[in-house]
Amino acid sequence: MENEKRSLWQLLLAVEESGGDCQINCAECLALLEYDAEILTAGAEVDALEKSIRQHLSLCEVCQKKQGNEWGKLADSILHKNRLDK
């Protein structure tokens, strides 16, 4: 399944079943982050999703390297904005 494109539900299931110890690629990481953003937009609690967002960033080796830079700033921005909106 490594080269197959996984659907969102397959990604969420893989992350859940692995206890957060699975590898994903950047496209999958972005799909999960989009999902997290949609949940936030729908009114989910920011504090509850912060762990999920950071976990999703940590599962992709490339995104891990970017986490301290672009992705980390993006995640912080999304989380901060949604805290202010509540």
Quick count: other Cβ atoms within 10 Å of Cβ 33? 19
3-state helix, strand, coil in the chain (%, to 5): 75, 0, 25
Predicted local confidence at residue 33, as pLDDT? 82
What number is the average pLDDT over the span 26-30?
83
> Cβ neighbours of residue 20 under 8 Å, at least 6 residues apart?
55, 58, 59
Domain spans, the chain: 8-85
Look at the pTM and tell me if it is higher than 0.75: no
- Is the CB of residue 49 less than 8 Å from the CB of residue 40? yes
The pLDDT tens digits for 37-85 are 888 888 888 777 777 777 777 777 777 666 555 666 666 776 776 666 6
